[in-house]
Structure 1
Amino acid sequence: MRDLANHLHVKRAISPAAAVTDNTAIVSQIIDRAGYEKLMFAISTGSLADADATFTVLLEHGDAANLSDAAAVPDAQLTGTEALAGFGFGDDDEVRKLGYVGPRRYLRLTITPANNTGNVFVSAVAILASGRYGPPANPPV
C-alpha cells in the first residue's frame, strides 16, 4: 500500500508568524505523543535577513503534561543531531529534521537565535507515526 497520509499524524509545533527580529527563543507547543511510537520534528525556514545570525536547536522531553519536569533529550535518543537541525543566516528556505526515539511522552522544541537583528521566519511541525490506533483524523486534531 502506498498511502502515507493514513499512517502519519501531523501536529503544529511552531506556527508561521511575524518575523522574529531579536534573540528571543522560539518555543514550540508541547507535543503529546500518546498513542504513537515515532516522532520527528520538521523545521522550515523562510527568509533569514541577518548576515551573521545563527540558530541553535534544543529538544526537551518529560512525563508531565506541562513539561515542568523538562530535561534535554540525550543524544542517544535522537535521530540526527540538534547541531544538524540548527541553521544559519545562509539557510534561507530550507528544511531541517530531528527525530526522537526516547521513552518520554511530552516534547518541546526550542530554536534560539544569536546575533539576530534582521527578520527571521521559522515554523515547525511534529510528525508522529506508528500509531496504536488508526488511521489518524483528517484534518489532524
Structure 2
Amino acid sequence: MRSLQPNIGAVPMVAPAVHTGNNTGAATDLLGFESACLVVNTGAVAGDGDFSIKLQESDTTTAGDFADVAAEHLTGTVPATLEAASVYRLGYIGHRRYLRTVLTRNGGTSLALGAVLVKGHPAEVPVT
C-alpha cells in the first residue's frame, strides 16, 4: 500500500460550521500543483435549508476578478441543493491560478458544512 499523504496538499475552503447565510471563501493558490478537487462534507439541514456551492477561478486574488468556473473545466457535479449527511467531489481541470468557493443560502434556515480543496500532482514531493 502507498500513502497518498505526501503527494497532496489540503486547504480549508469553508470552515466546518453550521452556516446560516452566504459564505465566500478566500482565494486559494494552485501554484506548484497540476490538479485540484473540492471535497464538500455536509451534516444536518435545519428548517428546509436550501444551500448551493460553486467554484470560482481567477488569475489574481482581486475579488472582482473571480468568475464561475465553466462546466467544461469541472469534473463531477454537486446538486443545486446540497443534501444532509453527504460528501461531494468537484474536480477542477481549468488553468487559472486561484480558486475560491461560494456557498449560497437560497432559502431555509441552516446547513452544517465544511469544504476542503485537495491539490494534487505537485511539482515537488513530499508536500509539507
Fold shared, TM-score > 0.5 on shorter chain = yes
Unaligned runs of 5+ in 1: none
TM (normalized to structure 1)? 0.82
Query: Could you tell me which residue of structure 2 aligns to residue 54 of structure 1?
Result: 50
SS of corresponding position for 1:99: strand
Tell me which amino acid in the other structure corresponds to 2:114: S
Task: Give the SS at the match of 1:16.
Answer: strand
- What letter corresponds to residue 80 of structure 1 in structure 2? G
The equivalent of 1:45 in structure 2 is 42
User: Could you say which residue in structure 2 is the equivalent of 1:130?
Assistant: 121
Which structure shows the bigger proportion of residues in strand conformation?
2
Match of 1:111 among 103, 106, 124: 103
User: After the TM superposition, which residues 77-92 of structure 1 pair with which residues of structure 2 at under 5 Å, given as runs?
Assistant: 77-81=73-77, 84-88=78-82, 91-92=83-84
- 2:46–2:111 CA contact under 8 A, matched in 1: yes
Equivalence for 2:26:
29
State how many pairs are aligned.
Answer: 128
Q: 1:20 deviation in Å?
A: 2.5
Root mean square deviation of aligned Cα: 1.6
Aligned 1:7-18 pairs, distance under 5 A: 7-17=7-17
Question: Residue 11 of structure 2 aligns to which amino acid in structure 1?
Answer: K
Tell me, yes or no, if the aligned pair for 2:9 and 2:120 is still in contact at 8 Å: yes
Q: 1:16·1:123 contact (CA, 8 Å) conserved in 2?
A: yes
Q: CA deviation at 1:130?
A: 0.3
Q: 2-side partners of 1:47 and 1:29: how far apart? A: 24
In structure 2, C-alpha distance between the alignment counterparts of 1:86 and 1:94, rounded to whole Å:
14
Q: Which runs of 4+ in 1 moved over 4 A?
A: none
